[in-house]
């Protein structure tokens, strides 16, 4: 499967409701962090780090999450800064 990326030239981001911990467990599949890490959600409170090949607790990386993708590899949640809350997003054609 290929990652689905929406270009800002033809799409705009629509910010929706805030994503909490249970939503992250249920809806999230692939997690990207501000530090450049890529994790796969195991849906039991742990994530698999692809670079280091080890499991990490989701609560340990929760503050560092940049965006979240679903199983179709579409971005479903993101934030711009670490100080912001994680929000669901939808990409709408301009």
Structural contact between residues 35 and 49, judged by C-beta atoms closer than 8 angstroms: no
Nearest Cα to Cα of residue 43 among 73, 71, 5: 71
Could you give the CA distance from residue 55 to residue 57 in angstroms, rounded to a whole number?
A: 7
**R_g of the chain, CA atoms, integer Å:** 13
Nearest Cα to Cα of residue 29 among 10, 45, 15, 43: 43
**Model pLDDT, residue 8:** 78
Could you give the CA distance from residue 77 to residue 86 in angstroms, rounded to a whole number?
A: 6
**Model pLDDT, residue 48:** 96
Q: Any idea where the domains of the chain sit in the sequence?
A: 11-93
Structural contact between residues 28 and 34, judged by C-beta atoms closer than 8 angstroms: no
Q: What is the mean pLDDT of each run of 10 residues along the chain (94 residues)?
A: 78 93 93 95 93 93 94 94 94 91
């Amino acid at each position: 499967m290929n990652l689905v990326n929406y270009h800002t030239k033809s799409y705009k981001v629509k910010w929706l409701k805030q994503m909490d911990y249970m939503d992250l467990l249920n809806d999230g599949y692939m997690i990207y962090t501000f530090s450049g890490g890529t994790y796969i959600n195991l849906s039991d409170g742990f994530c698999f780090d692809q670079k280091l090949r080890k499991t990490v607790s989701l609560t340990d990386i929760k503050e560092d999450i940049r965006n979240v993708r679903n199983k179709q590899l579409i971005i479903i949640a993101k934030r711009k800064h670490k100080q912001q809350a994680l929000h669901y997003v939808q990409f709408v054609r301009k």
